[in-house]
Chains A and B, each alone.
Chain A
Amino acid sequence: MIPPFDAEYRRRQRARAKVTAWALAAMVVLFFAIAIVRMH
């Protein structure tokens, strides 16, 4: 069994990684949108 401290540590790391991934995905979409607008 994972000790409670380690489990909480991993949970926080996973939650942060998920939020970071979503933020990066949103930025990629935004950059594409900007690139398309600037090209026209």
Chain B
Amino acid sequence: MAAVTAPAFSPAPALPAEWRDFLALTKPRVMTLVVFTGLCGLLAAPARIHPVLGFTAILCIAVGAGACGALNMWYEADLDVHMKRTRDRPLPAGRMDRQAALHFGVALGVGAVAVMGLAVNLLAAAILAVSILFYVVVYTVWLKRRTPQNIVIGGAAGAFPALIGWAAATGRIDVLPVLMFALVFLWTPPHFWALALYVRPDYAAAGVPMLPVVAGEATTRRQMLLYSLPMAVAAVLPWPLQLTGAIYGVTATLLTGWFMALVLRVAASSERDPALMRAERQLFRFSILYLFVLFGALVADRLVLA
């Protein structure tokens, strides 16, 4: 197999990188959401796990997400330099040697999977390994620059933590974590395309084939609605299936209704000026809150049921 080499970029900096730059490589803000969904998967599971092992499992999920962030930045430095949102990252800003980012990412990934396997269980370690490889190889290296459906594929990687948390606690996979996986997977396209609509010029400048750049805004708005419909089903389904109680059921129904109203507004809009895309910004911000509250309600519900 040919070795993966990152697209050419800039010369190495003269000074060694600061530890803060290594921390920035792990994308701490993305990690927050990953840790949260992983923790929710772990707490929603019907089995109890020792707090030390639970902490270790969440730490491994966080470090695995950090590995994904570092390897993503290692590979995408040539793109990041063109985008306003990303040009101050350690590599495009010239504060770090590219090889250091690669070694750091690989070490974090291997370490996280090994500790998960040794301390928690092999199923959780296997899913963690698959999610890291999926994000780095399938999404970042293979598909992100080739298809406008890139974010759909990336969404699958982001959907794994809840599954890993559940597997860490129980050692198996059930219907509820699969629905949680489906929810995050189907939530990602409307969430991310809302952002992509109003930062489209940035993606166009970097040459990333984001859907609004390649297929236009009307298609993007339609596709957002298309993914939101099954997402709504996945969000509400645990209640009628009696996998959760009314706390989650009512929260999911109300918030999903609100989410759909925002998506419908975006789908019906024909605004072309990114500066005036208020509905899109609102949907992007609400979508983050939506996932946090929904998963929080799921945990509250399961703890009450238990």
Contact = CB atoms under 8 A, between A and B. Distances in A.
A13 B53 CA distance: 33
Interface residues of A, number: 14
Contacts of A15: 18-19
B19 A34 contact: no
Nearest to B23: A19
B119 A16 contact: no
A19 B16 CA distance: 14
Contacts of A13: 16
A13 B220 CA distance: 47
A36 B19 CA distance: 32
B15 interface: yes
B50 interface: yes
B253 interface: no
B16 A12 contact: yes
B251 interface: no
Interface in B1-49: 14-19, 22
5 contacts: A13-B16, A30-B59, A34-B119, A36-B52, A37-B52
Interface of A: 5, 8-9, 12-13, 15-16, 19, 30, 33-34, 36-38
Interface of B: 14-19, 22, 50, 52-53, 56, 59, 119
